[in-house]
Amino acid sequence: MHANNEVGTIQPVREIALIAKEYGIVLHSDTVQTVGKVPVDVNDLHVDLLSISAHKMYGPKGIGAIYIRKGTNIDALIHGGAQERKNRAGTENIPSIVGFAKAMEIASNEWSDNFEHARLCKELLKAKICGELKNVVVNGGEQDTLPFILNVSLDSSSYEAERESLLLNLDLHGVAVSSGSACTSGSVQPSHVLLAMGRDERSTSTAIRFSFGKFTSVKDVDRAGDVFCSIVRSLPKRPAVVH
């Protein structure tokens, strides 16, 4: 991944690719979270393969693209006709392709403004949550991270909570959030991303992922923060442990 889809951390793909190249390893990067949101240059990243999705830049759902560096051989996804240089047989979805191209054009012109707007939204929500609540953990670093995602969890030593309850209560108040990526929706397992970052299972089970886009208003962010803080304050507290 160029950027993690749960916490927004931008990975050192360029450095990884240079190491891979030394050993003749072909490297693919999933840039679904970054293309259209930040500048992405295949030559700067030194990747051989790179995948993109239109829906992440307000384009049609169900259409994506793959960059294949010249000289990189891959097996065909679907065998049959000679479409897409024999990499994927089947009639192309022209309306979605055109919509994808238009979305990419708009995103390339607006990315800087959208980036700053998301950064403002993220900072406002983080300041409200961390300012009003104790023992809240922000998952993901301050540097080398996208502003479009804010992932927070509750310290398991202080709160008794489950993500399903948090999600349900937020939904009932009209606040749309997730407990992780869309790829893991429906899973009851703790986030492998947060566990790999050293979070314990109980804290990981309370993780909430807020996301921001160009249509997210400051008013939306302010209300989401108020609702979240109100719900958390109503949760039963764990008794302090006296040693």
CB-CB neighbours of 174 under 10 Å? 10
Residue 229 falls in the annotated catalytic set: no
Distances, alpha carbon 42 to alpha carbons 35, 74, 107, 139, 174, in Å: 11, 17, 17, 28, 40
H helices of the chain, in order, are 13-22, 42-45, 94-132, 163-172, 192-196, 201-204, 218-233
Q: Which is catalytic among the residues 121, 130, 183, 229? A: 183
The phi, psi pair for 116, rounded to 5°, reads: -65, -35
Using only C-alpha atoms, the chain has a radius of gyration, in whole angstroms, of: 20
Strand order in the sheet with 64-68: 28-30, 49-53, 64-68
Residue 56, helix vs strand vs coil: helix
Give 73-90 as a DSSP string: ----SB-SS-GGGGTB-S
Per-residue burial over 18-49, b if 16 or more Cβ lie within 10 Å, else e, is eebeeeeeebbbbbbbbbbbbebebeebbbbb
Q: Which two tokens stand for residue 190?
A: 């703790």
Catalytic residue positions, numbered:
183
